[in-house]
Amino acid sequence: MEIIVCIKHVPETAEADITIDESGKRIEVEDLVFDINEWDDYALEEAVQLKEKLGGSVTAMTVGSEEGDSTLRKCLARGADRAIRLTDKAFEGSDGYATAKILHRAIKELPYDLILTGAQAGDDGYAQVGVTLAELLGVPHATMVKKVEFSGDQARVNRELEGGLEAVIEMKLPALITIQTGINEPRYVSIMGIRKAKSKEIKVLGLKELGLKEDEVGKAGSWMTVERMFVPPVEKEVEILEGTSDEVTTKITDILRAKGLI
């Protein structure tokens, strides 16, 4: 099975102090650590497991700068066979739609049975690239997938729904699936894998190689632009009630009464 995994090199922000840069449209990333997007991490692991079970190969692909090579090499160390970086100054500022167009041009000429992406990206949370890419390629897709099985040219997947529900659907290959976290347990990168990954080529393609025009990508080719980014202001603060148990109870009762809750 020929599998392509679309991954993204993103900053780790979960435990970092985030500040907005002077433009007001993006965060300061100078002191942040970058790594593979969390959802894409699970997509890569699923691709490698499928290769180990069914045979074939895995190609890791990303849109971004040369800094993304560290994430691509991690993919190679974890079991991907090839890595492709789509890089061009004209790609800067691309929204989910423009990014999908870039990936589409790179993928449409490649042999593939299955394309895996993360359900969303941790830096923007758009959850648009996977489904848009599927539409551009003209292949069936499923989102928020937590289980994948195959029978011939059919894929049977479990989709996560709200309220703890799941939906089981079948699709004909080739297809695209966006992966939800928890579908597997991503493996650690081995020392041997890291050594092998260092010698593998990362293929780089730009605007010209993909046959794209400048007005098809970047801000010009995007449907959405970021107008402003900000850290939500603190509107409420925690109030610590002090005193004896009777005094605290009385204060709580007064607060609830003042808000019309009792």
- Contact between 4 and 56 under an 8 Å Cβ cutoff? The reply is no
* Residue bearing tokens 């539409």: 135
Asked whether residue 237 carries a pLDDT value surpassing 80, the answer given is: no
Confidence of residue 14 (pLDDT cuts 50, 70, 90): confident
Cα angle, residue 10 at apex, residues 46 and 49 outer, rounded to 5° = 10
- What phi, psi does 115 have (nearest 5°)? -120, 130
Separation CA 13–CA 17 (nearest Å): 8
User: Which domains are assigned to the chain?
Assistant: 2-216 (3.40.50.620)
Instruction: Measure the CA–CA gap between 25 and 225, rounded to whole angstroms.
Output: 9
123 or 114: whose pLDDT is higher?
114
Q: Residues for the chain: how many in total? A: 262
Q: How far apart are CA 254 and CA 248, in angstroms?
A: 10
Q: For the residues of the chain, what is the DSSP string, one character each? A: -EEEEE--EEE--TTS---B-TTSSSB--TT--EEE-HHHHHHHHHHHHHHHHH--EEEEEEES-GGGHHHHHHHHHTT-SEEEEE--GGGTT--HHHHHHHHHHHHTTS--SEEEEESS-TTT----HHHHHHHHHT--EEEEEEEEEEETTEEEEEEE-GGG-EEEEEEESSEEEEEPTTSS-PPPPPHHHHHHHHTS-EEEE-HHHHT--GGGSTTTT-S-------PPPP--------S-HHHHHHHHHHHHHHTT--
pLDDT of residue 232 exceeding 90, the answer is: no
**What mean pLDDT, rounded, does the chain reach?**
93
Count of Cβ atoms closer than 10 Å to residue 104 Cβ? 18
Instruction: Output the pLDDT for position 233.
Output: 80
pLDDT band at 31 (very low <50, low <70, confident <90, very high): confident
- pLDDT (0 to 100) of residue 43: 98
What is the reported pTM? 0.86
Question: How far is the C-alpha of 114 from the C-alpha of 56, rounded, in Å?
Answer: 11
Tens digit of pLDDT for each residue in 101-121?
Answer: 999 999 998 999 999 999 999
Whole-angstrom distance, CA of residue 233 vs CA of residue 20: 13
Closest CA to 211 of 129, 62, 109, 73: 109
